Chain A
Amino acid sequence: MTQKRVVTATINGEEQALLCQPRQTLLEVLRDVLGMTGTKEGCSNGNCGACTVLLNGRPVDSCLVLAVECDAADIETIEGVADGNHLAPLQEAFLENAALQCGICTPGFIMSAKALLAQKPDPSEEDIRFSLAGNLCRCTGYDKIVRAVQDAAARQRAAAE
């Protein structure tokens, strides 16, 4: 077995030193080493987006990132979205718009949507659908998810005023 390496990364604002093998993906290290199981494993080949995290502010499929690539990186996962016990407006919008059923795809959708809203506070429906094309949902259908993101965008804009 190859030697384990130390990777230092900032995860949800906290600097952490991780011990990982080159063969371990960021997804495996988040879930199995750090016990952060909010990030889900879906297809493991970059099609479904269930494992989406933000790497230096940009959504990526964590199943297609090696953990050893993440030295000095800034990583944000679903665990970092809520403020303590208070859900973020985006999470509340998903709940109130019934934008989930089984919930496996939801953390990925929220991370992709978070990155979109950070870049475009007032996205069009087309912007939302285009930005979420890399996230698959097999239960709810996408209309409720799109509405939830539109609702979250409106809440965030209202909060910013």
Chain B
Amino acid sequence: MRDFEYEAPDSLERAIAILSEMNGRARPLAGGTDLIDHVRTGRLTPDLIVDIKKIPDLNRLEHTSDGLHLGAAVPCYRIYEDPAIRRDFAALVDACSIIGGIQVQNRASVGGNLCTSGPAADSAPALIALNAICVLTGPDGTREVPVHEFFTGPGQNVLNRGELLVEIRLPAPAPHSGSHYRRFIPRNEMDIAVVGVGAAVTLEEDGQTIRSARIGLGAVAPIPLLAVEASELLAGKPASDATFSEAAQAARKIVTPIDDMRGTVEFRIHVTGVLVERVLRQAVARARGEDAPQH
């Protein structure tokens, strides 16, 4: 691997100062499961690696009255082992349980998954569905960007030089809410999504009518998408297969997938709709308290 220097600051201020001074020649390290591979293959050529795992803000996992504060360096296993996250943000648990194998989940963070900005990143559709917000801090201060506006292209995002993703904030779910993330892959584990769909649903008190819903789509466009029309048309409708099918049709209309060895354009468009229906069905079941994440 190429030569680089290593620093592990223990404060956010220091990390931002180092990243700014290095003017693009430094890369932050959380779990390293993407970064170390990218440095080894020469895709990234940093002179300095800044280990951000010793910064308390980036390791925060805290439930407050307004929701979840998830530090950007928190590894997947801490997320799926947290009972309150399993209860309130099941789609995120689904995603974190299938990012790589156990070895990767013990290191990889959701913040890193977002910052690598792969179109097929498993956490993205789940976070989009859960209405999550990225909190970014840089030399000019802090700003908030919704996850569905964070990505700008394959491997690209809105982070400016010297700016760091500090935490992901998820609003507390309303009563009678449920969420789910699922992807299609040809294997059972350890693969990249051919299509990934996340959905979060809030039902009316009757448990039959959808009050609101959000659907996130992955691997079917240059960036993960919020399916606006498919999400909005669900409001006020009965939670039925006919309704889910309508949302699936709307979602199929906005995807622009590529042809590659994992699937053709036609196949990905078809699977988008199939997954939207299945994921909505499961999210509704969870909103009714009929199901919970397994692993």
Interface, chain A (partner B; CB < 8 A): 1-2, 5, 21-25, 44-47, 49, 52, 55, 58-61, 63-66, 68-69, 112, 115, 129-135
A64 and B32 contacting across the interface, CB-CB below 8 Å: yes
B94 to chain A, nearest CB (A): 14
Beyond A64-B36, A66-B36, A133-B101, whether A22 also contacts B189 by CB under 8 A is no
Tell me, yes or no, whether B261 is within 8 Å of chain A by CB. no
Count of A-B contacts judged by CB separation below 8 Å: 92
Q: Which residues of B contact A130 (CB under 8 A)?
A: 189, 295
A134 and B37 contacting across the interface, CB-CB below 8 Å: no
B103 and A66 contacting across the interface, CB-CB below 8 Å: no
The chain A residue sitting closest to B295, CB to CB, is A130
A87 to chain B, nearest CB (A): 24
A–B complex contacts, Cβ < 8 Å, 29 sampled: A2-B5, A5-B6, A24-B1, A45-B37, A45-B41, A46-B33, A46-B100, A47-B190, A55-B106, A59-B106, A60-B103, A60-B107, A61-B104, A63-B36, A64-B32, A64-B33, A64-B36, A64-B103, A66-B6, A66-B29, A68-B8, A68-B51, A69-B29, A69-B51, A133-B101, A134-B100, A134-B101, A134-B103, A134-B189
B40 and A44 contacting across the interface, CB-CB below 8 Å: yes
Summarize B's interface: helix, strand, loop or mixed. Answer: loop
A135 CA to B4 CA in the complex, in Å? 29
Q: Which residues of B contact A132 (CB under 8 A)?
A: 101
Tell me, yes or no, whether B64 is within 8 Å of chain A by CB. no
Most buried by A among B1, B49, B101: B101
A39 to chain B, nearest CB (A): 13
Which residue from A64, A65, A68, A131 sits with its C-beta under 8 Å from B6? A68
A25 and B36 contacting across the interface, CB-CB below 8 Å: yes
Kindly identify, within residues 90 to 131 of chain B, every residue whose CB is under 8 Å from any CB belonging to chain A.
100-104, 106-107
Interface, chain B (partner A; CB < 8 A): 1-6, 8, 29, 31-33, 36-37, 40-41, 49, 51, 53, 77, 100-104, 106-107, 188-190, 295
What are the nearest 9 A-B pairs in CB distance?
A134-B101, A133-B189, A22-B6, A58-B106, A134-B103, A61-B103, A133-B101, A23-B1, A45-B37
Most buried by B among A21, A25, A60, A68: A60
Q: Which residues of A contact B5 (CB under 8 A)?
A: 2, 22
A23 and B107 contacting across the interface, CB-CB below 8 Å: no
B29 to chain A, nearest CB (A): 7
A112 and B102 contacting across the interface, CB-CB below 8 Å: yes
Known A2-B3, A61-B104, A133-B101; 19 more pairs at CB < 8 Å: A1-B3, A2-B5, A52-B103, A59-B106, A60-B103, A60-B106, A63-B36, A64-B31, A64-B33, A64-B103, A64-B107, A66-B6, A66-B29, A66-B32, A69-B29, A112-B102, A130-B189, A131-B102, A134-B190
